[in-house]
């Protein structure tokens, strides 16, 4: 039975339709479905959103037509198996698209800092910059411009974040408060680099830390070649689907290698991490079943950057809510990783990582408690009022202000 996406006649009448010729898509840039969470938070846009359906490109949402309903149509269409659907913006409008995302991202971060006492502002500001860079990689393709943006964001992170004791805890808490703000690749880059710098200190030069940060940002670049229906499948993969999913490591290596050959400022180690980040320390990973340390076995061992990124990747993935799994609190995520650490991760890297996460979470908890004591609410009660009633009314008002109703748009 065919699952091809059928364009309704009413849609054809409403939308401008562009036949896709050999070079049509050169003027457009594909965008990730994950970014749609941001578009729900804006009332207007100054660019069009296009939907590719096989050999036709539809101007599906014009600037004057933005609505939750149309965004939902695109989301659901993109998830249909074998639908042949992708989402684009015009290349000339991509800066406008980025500006909109950056506006929403920073607005969310400010709201997060107001709501949650103790979170580290600098960590979240660096995260916002990294997230902007990582989203250029997701479904955006890798070229010299993207690579320069990623390198600049990685360098800024290494300069500004390495001495933050609360960085890991701030990121760990962020996803449980606002899942739509979370960016997996940006978080992997931060977790991996903070982990390495805190473990190795000055023995890890600045330029090496920047390469590791870039490795985190690019580690899943190959997922741009995996269909949305598989990336967002709610159930278990069939063996064939899992093979498609696993192919992202090869796709990432190929895309990065091509960009490097074309002159993009990307260290070859970044491509090596992309293909090795699912290898496991005892040899049970993919694609090659490598095991142990590259330093001890250059042919079959796993590069240290890949061993670091694999830990950051696993931890970040456990924190995230997906269509096929719930989000986990940081403590539970770490507990699950500790149970499998003997098989999956280099113990010389994992043990300091676990200790650093626990230390960071404890420091954040202590900071929050201190802030709550310093800024505890004071309720003014008129003579004759019930104190309990007054406090209850105030708390209800505060809760009403904090609540934000949003449509469910997927993981």
Tokens of 398: 């505060």
In a domain, 314, yes or no: yes
The parts of the chain modelled with pLDDT lower than 50 are: 1-2, 377-392, 394-411
Q: What are phi and psi of 293, to 5 degrees?
A: -105, 135
Distance in angstroms (rounded) separating the CA atoms of residues 313 and 59: 36
Q: Is residue 354 part of a domain?
A: yes
**Paired tokens of 199:** 């473990």
Residue 265 is assigned to a structural domain of this protein: yes
- Cβ atoms 220, 248 nearer than 8 A: yes
CB contact at 8 A, 149 and 175: no
Q: Is residue 167 part of a domain?
A: yes
Residue 410 lies in a domain: no
pLDDT at 375: 59
Domain of 262: which CATH number? 1.10.3210.10
Predicted model pTM: 0.80
Q: How many residues does the chain have?
A: 411
Pick from 314, 309, 355, 329: nearest CA to 189 = 309
Any residues with CB less than 8 A from the CB of 252 and at least 6 apart, and which?
218, 219, 220, 221, 222, 223, 271, 274, 275
Q: For residue 211, give the nearest of 168, 165, 262, 157 by alpha carbon.
A: 157
Half-sphere exposure of 261 (CA within 13 A, CB side): 6
Which H or E run contains 89?
A: strand 85-90
Determine, yes or no, domain membership for 188.
yes
Distance of alpha carbon 67 from alpha carbon 65, whole angstroms: 6
Tell me how far the alpha carbon of residue 79 is from its chain's centroid.
18
Output the pLDDT for position 379: 40
- Tell me the sheet residues that pair with 151: none
Which single residue is written with the structure tokens 């070229």? 143
Q: Show the domain range for 316.
A: 116-366
Number of domains in the chain: 1
Cα separation, 64 vs 67, whole angstroms? 9
Cα 248 versus chain centre, distance: 16
Question: Does some domain include residue 33?
Answer: no
Contact predicate 105/97, CB 8 Å: no
Q: Which two tokens stand for residue 344?
A: 């999956």
Residue 190 counted as domain residue:
yes
Tokens 């997927």 -> residue: 410
């Amino acid at each position: 039975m065919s699952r091809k996406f059928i364009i309704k006649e009413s849609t054809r009448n409403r939308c401008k339709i562009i036949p896709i010729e050999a070079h049509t898509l050169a003027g457009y840039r594909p965008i990730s479905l994950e970014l749609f969470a941001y578009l729900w938070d804006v009332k207007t846009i100054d660019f069009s959103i296009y939907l590719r359906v096989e050999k036709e490109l539809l101007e599906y949402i014009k600037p004057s037509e933005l609505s939750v309903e149309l965004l939902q149509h695109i989301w659901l269409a993109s998830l249909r198996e074998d639908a042949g659907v992708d989402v684009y913006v015009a290349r000339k409008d991509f800066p406008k698209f980025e500006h909109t995302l950056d506006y929403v991202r920073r607005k969310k971060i400010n709201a997060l800092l107001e709501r949650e006492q103790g979170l580290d502002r600098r960590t979240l500001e660096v995260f916002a910059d990294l997230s902007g860079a990582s989203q250029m990689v997701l479904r955006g393709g890798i070229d010299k411009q993207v690579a320069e943006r990623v390198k600049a964001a990685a360098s800024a992170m290494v300069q500004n974040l390495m001495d933050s004791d609360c960085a890991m805890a701030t990121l760990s808490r962020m996803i449980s408060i606002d899942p739509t703000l979370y960016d997996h690749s940006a978080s992997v880059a931060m977790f991996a680099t903070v982990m390495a710098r805190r473990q190795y200190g000055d023995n890890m030069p600045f330029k090496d830390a920047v390469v590791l940060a870039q490795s985190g940002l690019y580690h899943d670049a190959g997922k741009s070649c995996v269909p949305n229906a598989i990336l967002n499948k709610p159930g278990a993969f069939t063996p064939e689907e899992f093979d498609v999913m696993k192919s992202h490591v090869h796709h990432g290596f190929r895309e990065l290698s091509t960009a490097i050959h074309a002159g993009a400022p990307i260290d070859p180690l970044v491509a090596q991490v992309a293909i090795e980040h699912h290898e496991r320390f005892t040899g049970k990973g993919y694609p090659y079943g490598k095991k142990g340390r590259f330093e001890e076995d250059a042919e079959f061992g796993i590069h240290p950057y890949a061993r670091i990124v694999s830990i950051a990747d696993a931890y970040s993935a456990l924190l995230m809510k997906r269509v096929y799994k719930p989000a986990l609190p940081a403590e539970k995520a770490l507990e699950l990783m500790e149970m499998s650490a003997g098989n999956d991760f280099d113990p010389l890297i994992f043990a300091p990582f676990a200790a650093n996460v626990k230390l960071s979470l404890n420091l954040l908890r202590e900071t929050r408690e201190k802030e709550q004591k310093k800024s505890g609410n004071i309720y003014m009660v008129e003579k004759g009022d019930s104190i309990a009633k007054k406090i209850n009314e105030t708390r209800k008002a505060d809760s009403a202000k904090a609540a934000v109703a949003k449509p469910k748009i997927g993981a």
